[in-house]
């Protein structure tokens, strides 16, 4: 079974600073995908970034980058130059090979302060 662990307490981040959100995972699959989603207080679930288990380069998408350390089974999200609109819950998720169902962590709450 897939498992995602996100244990950081809620975080306050100063506007324009970078923030790193921790995510560790456990899986028996050789091939898997790691995803980060953003959920603002309005409730929608927004896809941010994806890292494949065989990708050698860390994924980047605008201000988002994923620090993938396969041996340590970690997939931390880095948000650079935080903006007020980044205040949200951030979920790390892993997909299963073959059926693609996502298993989510409990989320990291981020509040960006001016």
Partner 1 sequence: AAGVIQSPRHLIKEKRETATLKCYPIPRHDTVYWYQQGPGQDPQFLISFYEKMQSDKGSIPDRFSAQQFSDYHSELNMSSLELGDSALYFCASSLKGNNQPQHFGDGTRLSIL
| Residues at the site binding partner 1, with contacts judged by CB under 8 A | 31-33, 35, 37, 43-47, 50, 52-53, 91, 95, 97-107
**Closest CB 33 distance from partner 1, rounded Å:** 3
**Cα–Cα distance for residue pair 106/10, rounded to 1 Å:** 12
User: What is the gyration radius of the CA atoms in the chain, in angstroms?
Assistant: 14
> What are 69's strand-pairing partners?
74
Site of tokens 């948000």: 79
For residue 101, the minimal CB distance to partner 1 (Å) is 4
Beta bridge partners of 47: 37
In the complex with partner 1, which residue's Cβ is closer, 79 or 94? 94
Q: Which is nearer to partner 1, 14 or 51 (CB)?
A: 51
Q: How far is CA 95 from the centre of its chain?
A: 13
* Distance of closest approach, residue 17 Cβ to partner 1, in angstroms: 26
Complex with partner 1: residue 12 or 47, whichever CB lies closer: 47
């Amino acid at each position: 079974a897939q498992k995602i662990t996100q244990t950081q307490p809620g975080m306050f981040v100063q506007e324009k600073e970078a923030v790193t959100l921790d995510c560790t995972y456990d899986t028996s699959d050789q091939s898997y995908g790691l995803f980060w989603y953003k959920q603002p207080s309005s409730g929608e679930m927004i896809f941010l970034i994806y890292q494949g288990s065989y990708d050698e380069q860390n994924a980047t998408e605008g201000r988002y980058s994923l620090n993938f350390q396969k041996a340590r089974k970690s997939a931390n999200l880095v948000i650079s130059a935080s903006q007020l609109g980044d205040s949200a819950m951030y979920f790390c998720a892993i997909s299963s090979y073959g059926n693609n169902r996502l298993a989510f962590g409990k989320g990291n709450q981020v509040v960006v302060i001016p």
